[in-house]
Amino acid sequence: MTRATILGLGSYVPERVLTNADFERMVDTSHEWIMTRTGIAERHIARPDEDTSDMCAAAAREAFADAGVTPEEIDLVIAGTVTPDFLVPSLACIIQKKLGLINAATMDVVAACAGFIHGLSVAQAYIACGTFKKILVFGAEKLSSITDYTDRGTCILFGDAAGAAIVGPATDDSGILAIHIKSDGRHDELLNIPAGGTHLPVVGNGSVDPRLSKLHMKGNEVFKFAVRHMGDAALRVIADAGLTPDQVDLLVPHQANIRIIKATAARLRLPMDKVYLNIEKYGNTSAASIPLALDQAVHEGRIKKGDIVLGVAFGGGLTWGAVLLRW
Ligand SMILES: CC(C)(COP(=O)(O)OP(=O)(O)OC[C@H]1O[C@@H](n2cnc3c(N)ncnc32)[C@H](O)[C@@H]1OP(=O)(O)O)[C@@H](O)C(=O)NCCC(=O)NCCS
């Protein structure tokens, strides 16, 4: 089977910044509480007229330049998101239109914060069997559009961003060494948006509380599952690749909470200098978190050719996944 590799990366974060001081004016919270409990100081928020697809287009332009690939070469677009511009058509279709990806098939993947790793696993499978040669995988979210800014337990966590990766067949020893995805739908109520689907449609006559169209989360319960499953998934891909945790050069975790990240690193016995962190500046950007962090880590020289890189994510569903790459 052909090994899939990341040929290029790009990312985008909106300009506007919401600081913890801003939240002190909006809800009953403090900079100290947010920093100690989450590690987040700032998050970026998209303009009202800036759609998820706009952020994706900006990220993709960087990825095209990085990979030396043209839009016409893309034969599949996979968009990992829970905040598409529309339910129909898919986010991937809108991106296709905005970037002129005339030769591509398109699909969205809904796996919350694990959306990018789920998308990457689909891309890897298509590359392995030879169906597609150049796949554009996004993790992108405009979480500000589904955040309840009156709920202090969730609003301080989330930010907006997009990340893009161009995936293709490896021509050297780089690429995906192992990838694993998993879900447990029995815990659907821990992190959800109650209204807006067929179960509780929003009809616009005021019959549904608008807050039900926003993210609801039982944070401390999600926390426990995240710590367990991120560690398990990470150990699994390392074992599947025939490696040991000490061989990992950089852990690039989903940036949900500094305490979850530290617990995951401790489980793998990885020192924190082998962990990439940008949570302080961007908060939890859900599916965008890992591709944004990967792109920044490469630009900062934290990932070099030949490095073993471990990505691991956890999100609503519940969903989780891990990927081990040789860069
Ligand atoms: C949300 C999260 C930061 C809350 O931290 P926590 O330590 O679990 O805190 P709890 O929810 O147990 O709440 C503890 C107290 O802090 C309060 N609190 C919650 N948010 C607060 C805020 N922004 N400022 C001040 N106090 C806050 C709670 O009301 C509670 O008060 P009480 O003890 O008087 O009832 C944490 O649970 C978390 O990060 N969970 C996982 C989130 C996540 O990763 N989600 C996405 C999956 S990728």
Per-domain boundaries in the chain: 4-171, 177-326
Architecture of domain 177-326 in this structure: 3-Layer(aba) Sandwich (3.40)
Please determine whether the domains at 4-171 and 177-326 fall in the same fold group of CATH.
Answer: yes
This prediction has a pTM of 0.96
82 pLDDT more than 90: yes
Cα–Cα separations (whole angstroms), residue 197 to 87, 167, 202, 206: 10, 32, 8, 16
Helices (H) and strands (E) in the chain, counts: 10, 13
Burial bucket for residue 71 (CB in 10 Å: 0-12, 13-18, 19+)? middle
- Measured CA to CA, the distance from residue 138 to residue 55 in angstroms comes to 10
Q: What's the average model confidence in pLDDT over 1-27?
A: 97
29 pLDDT more than 80: yes
Domain over 4-171 is classified CATH 3.40.47.10: yes
Amino acid at 18: L
Q: How many CA atoms lie within 13 A of 282 on its CB side?
A: 31
Please report the pLDDT score of residue 172 as a whole number.
96
In this structure, the residues whose C-beta lies within 6 A of any atom of ligand 1 are 29, 33-34, 37-38, 113, 152-153, 156, 217, 219-220, 222-223, 226, 254, 256-257, 260, 284, 314-315
pLDDT in tens, 97-154: 999 999 999 999 999 999 999 999 999 999 999 999 999 999 999 999 999 999 999 9
List the residue whose alpha carbon is closest to atom 40 of ligand 1: 219
Q: What is the total residue count of the chain?
A: 327
Mean pLDDT of the chain: 97
Please report the pLDDT score of residue 210 as a whole number.
87
* pLDDT grade for 5, boundaries at 50, 70 and 90: very high
Could you give the 3-state DSSP secondary structure of residue 215?
Answer: coil
- 157 C-alpha to center of ligand 1: Å? 10
Please report the pLDDT score of residue 49 as a whole number.
97
